Amino acid sequence: MKKLLLTGAAGRIGSRLIEELINDYELTIAEKDLTVLDDWEGKGCQLKAFDITDYKECLAACEGIDTVIHLAGNPSPTAKYADVKKVNMDGTYHLMAAASEQGCRRLIFASSIHTVKGYPKDEQVKTDSPLRPLDIYGVSKAFGEAMGNYFAYEKGLEVIAIRIGGHRSIEMMKEKGEQPNSYQRSSYLSARDMNQLVKSCVEAKLDRPFEIVHGVSDNTFKFLDLSDTKDKIGYKPSDNGFDL
C-alpha cells in the first residue's frame, strides 16, 4: 500500500477525502491543530501535527511518504497578499522542497479555477491556456503551479496541479434556497468526482514529471476543459452540474 500524506485534512475537501483513501492506502492526515481531527483517532490512519510554515516540520511529515496530497492553504478569494503569502506561497514551497529532499515520488497540489477565472464565462479554458487570475488568491495558486513545474523538472519530484472548480458550491446554494447560474453549473465539481480525481492522480502513470489537470464534473458545458485531463490520468467524472 502506498503511503500518503494529506495536508489540510480537516477542510471541506480533505475531510471527505479521508473516507475515500483510508481503506486503500497507509494514510497520514496532517493539520496544525489535531483536535479538529479527533474523530479519526484509532480508525486506521495516522494523525500528524505540523506547521506548513516550518520547514523542519515539513521534512518530518514527508519522511517515508510516497505521495503528498497538499490541500492546506488559505482558501479565501478575497484574501490580501499578506494573508496568502505565508501559507499558500511560503508553505507550498516548504512542502515541495521537503517532499523532494525526502525522496517522495509525487506531490498533488490543490491549485484552483481562480488561476484562470479571468476568461470570459462562455470561453472554455484549456490546461495550457495562459494564466489569468482575477484575485490574489488565484495569484498564490499560480505561484504554486510554477513552483511545482520547477521541482518537477529541476528536482525530480513528480507534481500534478489540480485546478479545483466549484467544489460542492451548488449543493451549498440549494441548501440556502439559492438558484445557481450557468457559470456555477459549468464549474461545478461534486465531492464524489473530487475524490475520484485525487485517486486518479495518485495512481496515474505520467508521461511528463509535471502536469496540470482540471477539476470539474462532467457538466454539459465545462468552463474547464476535461479532454486532456481524462487522457493524462484516466479521470472518469460521474456528475453533471446542469442536472442538479
Residues noted as catalytic: 137
* Cα atoms found within 13 Å of the Cα of residue 80, Cβ hemisphere only: 1
CA 183 to CA 152: how far, in whole Å? 33
- Partnered with residue 107 across adjacent β-strands are 68, 159
- Tell me the three cell numbers of residue 115: 488561476
CA 143 to CA 33: how far, in whole Å? 26
Which single residue is written with the C-alpha cell 488559505? 74
CA 66 to CA 107: how far, in whole Å? 9
Contact (CB, 8 A) for 19 and 60: no
CA 188 to CA 164: how far, in whole Å? 9
In total, the chain counts a number of residues equal to 244
CA 52 to CA 30: how far, in whole Å? 10
